[in-house]
Amino acid sequence: MVHRLFTYGTLTDRDTLEGLLEHSAGVARPAVLTGYQSCPSAYGYPYILPVSDGEVEGVVWSDLTDEDLLRTDEYEGVHDDRPMYFRKSIHLVIDGQPMDAWVYVGIPETFADGSNAFEPLATKEVPANVELFAVIDFLNDTLKDKGLLFGVRKNGETMTISIYEV
């Protein structure tokens, strides 16, 4: 079976997704998911929650297999003891064309113990660069015991880097 996947965080990056899948990720189309809002997390990864007037920018990947979804499920921790996300079927309209896709929705109790009140100490918008994801992971691993977390969100051609005190 062939699937579509709407991504809004790390997996919007082609190199990251193809490294995970171990093959070409196929066609990517910019998309906006309505009815959801992107939230920062204490882990440095964005998650989305249903919000009636919300919008989330992202990418829809087409032609993914059942095996591809199993790999993205594992990557997103869907089957962990304390899962961060669950995969949900959604409806999108791209270029006037309705379509179904999957998306990973955050489980608020996992992110920041249910608190959505994290305000960044500082944010900076920079040109999009896939290498920044690795830098953010390094900073989070290095500084996790210092009470600082770094988040990154891709916004098309730019990325927003945020610093949080936790």
Length of the chain: 166
Fold adopted by 3-165: Hypothetical upf0131 protein ytfp (3.10.490)
CB 11 within 8 A of CB 21: no
Per-domain boundaries in the chain: 3-165
Cα 87 from chain centroid?
Answer: 12
For 82, phi then psi, to 5°, come to -125, 80
Question: Which residues have C-beta within 8 Å of that of residue 53, sequence separation ≥ 6?
Answer: none
Q: SS3 of 115, please? A: coil
Q: Looking at residue 141, what is its pLDDT?
A: 67
Please identify every stretch of the chain with a pLDDT value under 50, giving residue numbers as ranges: 114-117
pTM score, two decimals? Answer: 0.68
Q: Looking at residue 114, what is its pLDDT?
A: 45
